[in-house]
């Protein structure tokens, strides 16, 4: 009899050398590099290459890759026309899933994935990776305008990924500090071992589906409320609390009624999520740079975190990556309904790294089940039922 573990909790589904988590110590590493080091010294573009290839790139390699990302960020007019046909009220994740899946029709060439043979065409793999990651940022930024009936903002090829996204989103020259903060946010969300959406990448990739279909499936998985979107709920919660002095009472009431405190606790971490620590540091940097002239909800957030630590630390419940990220996104002018789409943009790097890894030693996923239904029965004719 096979052992049944709901949600495959603790079941090793693959071998990977892309990232690792030590939940007890609060450690997250990409390819052996601590996330703190990457947030401090790296860029999103460099982190993408690290995740894809396993090593930090040399200068010329990074420059070539960054240039390719920039020249591939434009959308074909057919794709823009497709986005214009979508209802303006459509969720940004549904828009992103639709448009990413449609890329496979505009950019074909997945012949290396047919006939059951593992794809070894690195040119195709690298090209598909660039086309997906480069365009996801453009799609999300453009949707803010298209959903309201306006033309998307023009492209800028002289800006890095984070700067270009903010420019297309707001139509204004990006604030250097906010662009750097967004760049760090993208690094922090780029990869996080075998979570639900990454597992969907592996399952879809194992069938030799095209990378556009693979990433579309992952976006659909991330859109679920149990996976992405908690940072928007954190903002709503902080607005409900209103003032720092209300935080402790709110926590007590939620604990009494067994309510949810959004942004607190993580299935992997028994201490504070290292990404939350980095984001909190970015908030303090922003506070200092602006002389305290930032969203007053920052103070509410810190007060709420302190109240939670006083009551929940012994249970291993601490702030996770969603806790501070929404506050920072709002400071950049990003609408709350696009927060999860930002998550998807960043995580596309990790998804595509796992797609590559799956192709290298591919075997189609075919888990088993424990049958709990009826045993053999005789068919009953219609007139005897």
Give all strands of the β-sheet with 27-30 in edge-to-edge order: 19-22, 27-30, 33-34
The percent of residues above 70 in pLDDT, for the chain, comes to: 96
Residue 370 burial (C-beta neighbours within 10 Å; 0-12, 13-18, 19+): exposed
pLDDT higher than 90, residue 188: yes
Q: Of the ranges 104-108, 270-274, 297-301, 349-353, which one carries the lowest mean pLDDT score?
A: 104-108
Q: What is the pLDDT of residue 154?
A: 87
pLDDT higher than 80, residue 187: yes
Q: What is the pLDDT of residues 328-337, one digit of tens each?
A: 999 888 999 9
Catalytic residue numbers, as ranges: 266, 322
Every domain range in the chain assigned CATH 1.10.580.10: 60-225+339-360
| 200 vs 160: CA distance, rounded Å | 29
Q: What is the pLDDT of residues 141-177, one digit of tens each?
A: 999 999 999 999 888 899 999 999 999 999 999 999 9
pLDDT higher than 80, residue 113: no
Contacts of 249 (CB under 8 A, 6+ apart): none
Over residues 265-279, the mean pLDDT reads 95
pTM exceeds cut of 0.85: yes
Q: How does the average pLDDT of the chain come out, rounded?
A: 92
Confidence of residue 2 (pLDDT cuts 50, 70, 90): confident
pLDDT higher than 60, residue 40: yes
Q: Of the ranges 75-89, 108-122, 153-167, 223-237, which one carries the lowest mean pLDDT score?
A: 108-122
Domain topology for 60-225+339-360: Citrate Synthase; domain 1 (1.10.580)
pLDDT higher than 90, residue 120: no
Confidence of residue 117 (pLDDT cuts 50, 70, 90): low
Torsion of CA 252, 254, 260, 265, to 10 degrees: 10
Q: What is the pLDDT of residue 83?
A: 96
pLDDT higher than 90, residue 291: no
Q: What is the pLDDT of residues 301-330, one digit of tens each?
A: 999 999 999 999 999 999 999 999 999 999
Q: Of the ranges 6-10, 74-78, 146-150, which one carries the lowest mean pLDDT score?
A: 6-10
Tell me the CATH number for domain 230-331. 1.10.230.10
pLDDT higher than 90, residue 10: no
**Pair of tokens at residue 237:** 């919660």
pLDDT higher than 60, residue 235: yes
Over residues 83-98, the mean pLDDT reads 96
User: Which one has a higher pLDDT value, 10 or 371?
Assistant: 371
Every domain range in the chain assigned CATH 1.10.230.10: 230-331
């Amino acid at each position: 009899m096979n052992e049944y573990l709901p949600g495959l909790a603790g079941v090793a589904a693959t071998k990977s050398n892309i990232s690792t988590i030590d939940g007890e110590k609060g450690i997250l590493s990409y390819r052996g590099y601590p996330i703190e080091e990457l947030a401090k010294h790296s860029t999103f573009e460099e982190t993408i290459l690290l995740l894809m290839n396993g090593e930090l790139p040399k200068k010329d390699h990074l420059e070539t890759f960054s240039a390719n990302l920039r020249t591939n960020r434009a959308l074909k007019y057919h794709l823009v026309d497709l986005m214009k046909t979508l209802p303006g009220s459509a969720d940004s994740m549904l828009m992103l899933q639709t448009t990413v899946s449609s890329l496979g029709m505009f950019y074909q060439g997945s012949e290396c994935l047919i006939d059951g043979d593992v794809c070894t065409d690195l040119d195709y793999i690298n090209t598909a990776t660039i086309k997906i990651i480069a365009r996801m940022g453009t799609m999300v930024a453009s949707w803010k305008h298209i959903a309201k009936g306006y033309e998307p903002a023009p492209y800028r090829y002289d800006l890095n990924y984070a700067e270009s996204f903010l420019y297309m989103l707001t139509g204004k020259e990006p604030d250097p500090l906010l662009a750097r903060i967004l760049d760090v946010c993208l690094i922090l969300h780029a990869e996080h071992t075998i979570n639900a959406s990454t597992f969907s990448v592996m399952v879809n990739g194992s069938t030799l589906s095209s990378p556009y279909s693979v990433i579309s499936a992952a976006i659909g998985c991330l859109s679920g409320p149990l996976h992405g979107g908690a940072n928007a709920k954190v903002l709503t919660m902080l607005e409900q609390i209103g003032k720092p002095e209300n935080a402790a009472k709110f926590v007590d009431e939620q604990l009494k009624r067994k309510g949810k405190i959004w942004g607190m606790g993580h299935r992997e971490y028994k201490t504070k999520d290292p990404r939350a620590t980095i984001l909190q540091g970015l908030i303090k940097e922003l506070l200092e740079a602006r002389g305290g002239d930032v969203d007053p909800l920052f103070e509410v957030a810190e007060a709420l975190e302190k109240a939670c630590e006083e009551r929940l630390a012994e249970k291993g419940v601490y702030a996770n990556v969603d806790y501070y990220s929404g506050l920072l996104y709002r400071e950049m002018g990003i609408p709350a309904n696009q927060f999860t789409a930002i998550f998807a943009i960043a995580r596309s790097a990790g998804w595509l790294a796992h797609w590559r890894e799956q192709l290298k030693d591919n075997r189609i996923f075919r888990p088993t089940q424990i049958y709990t239904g009826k045993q053999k029965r005789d068919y009953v004719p219609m007139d005897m039922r």
